[in-house]
Structure 1
Amino acid sequence: MLTIGIAVVRVVLGAFVAAHGVQKLTHFWGGGGLAASTKEFQDDGFVGGKFTAFAAGGVQVAGGTLLIAGFLTPLASAMVIGPMVVATTVKAPVGFWSQDGGYEYPLFLALLGIGVAFTGPGAFSFDHATGLSAWYGQGAWSWVPPVAATAAGVFGGLGARVLLHRPALTTSRGRTL
């Protein structure tokens, strides 16, 4: 039963994050496409224009797809954690609850990404089928891949925030960031 539970959490998290990335890049599933995502990032005080929007959406699509497959799971987890850390920091000034525009949802997804990093891909995964999971889930060093994935995601997200965000910008929504 645990094997099924791990697969369900991993696949659902991957699907949610990948779909969110697809929305950033296209008009599928109600997405505004790259132009709308570029404007949203600029309104939130980020520089980089289309590159920033494309990178965010692309990382979400790639990380989510890898999670769905259960392939390169530590990397996939980091690719989910990073953008959700950025989103959490952007929404933090608004408050916790998502219904008010807060950081509840991206924090939840980031924490699920950390959980998947620590549980591993499970038996129903490409990592397991190819033997890759043996490299990052056993023995005295089994803590290294999940800790590395978590650190890469958290510090990668915070690094992107520091590099690409200009707090002195005032958004078109009237907020000073």
Structure 2
Amino acid sequence: MTETVKANAATAAASSGVNGADIGLLVARVGFGGLLAVHGSQKLFGWFNGYGLDATAQGFQGMGYHPGKSFATLAGLSEITGGLLLVLGLLTPLAAAIALGTMINAVNVGWSGGFAMWELPAVYALAAVAFAFAGPGRLALDRGRPWQRQGLIWGAGAVVLGVVAALITLALK
């Protein structure tokens, strides 16, 4: 009897197509993407006890990003856009590239301050790379769409795009 119950449960899980990895990717995507979007909204709008655009622009100026307001706006928009796309599981390789490029710049800024200053952006960058390769999972808006892309080639392309965007930003600052 127990074997029949197990077999029926396995069949039900297989027919829905959703597995533990899909749930894990959903939780990680929503958590990481949501936090990234909140961070961007702090920069742009001062939401969630953030500084807002003017103060963030001054901070960017002090970090060597000139003009500070343009780079602060770019960073905030990148964090909001990349974060929300990840939350939704939409255009996931592009979302991962946006997040990665932004976090490479954050790691660069914190590098001279020691490990504690670049540790969190590095974790975010690693998460972005993981999503670039793994994709969003089955519980995502990308699922079954003509634009759905994931895997080795798309992950590598997203990483290259994120790194190139970060290097261009660093060169222009």
**Fold match (TM-score > 0.5):** yes
Q: 1:75 aligns with which of 66, 70, 94?
A: 94
* Shift, 1:20, TM fit: 0.4
Q: Which runs of structure 2 are paired with 1:90-105 in the superposition (5 Å)?
A: 90-97=109-116, 102-105=117-120
Q: 1:131: how far off?
A: 4.5
1:157 aligns with 2:166: yes
Q: Find the residue that maps to 2:142 and give its secondary structure.
A: helix
Look up the SS of the partner of 1:132 in the other structure. coil
| Paired residues of 2:59 and 2:68 also in contact (CA < 8 A) | no
Q: Which residue of 1 aligns with 2:152?
A: 143
3-state secondary structure, aligned to 2:115: coil
Q: Provide TM-score, normalisation by structure 1.
A: 0.84
**2:101 pairs with 1:86:** no
1:90 partner amino acid = V
Point out where structure 2 has 5 or more consecutive residues left out of the alignment.
1-19
Q: Deviations over 1:80-135 (max 9, x none)?
A: 101100000110011112xxxx10000100110000111101100000053432xx
Specify the structure having the higher radius of gyration (Cα): 2
**What is the aligned length?**
154
Structure 1, unmatched stretches of 5+, are 165-177
Aligned match of 2:3? none
Give the residue type in structure 2 aligned to 1:122. G
Q: In 1, Cα distance between the equivalents of 2:167 and 2:109?
A: 11
Which structure has greater helix proportion? Answer: 2
Indicate which of 34, 56, 59 corresponds to 1:37: 56
Report the counterpart of residue 168 of structure 1 in structure 2: none
In the alignment, does 2:99 pair up with 1:106?
no
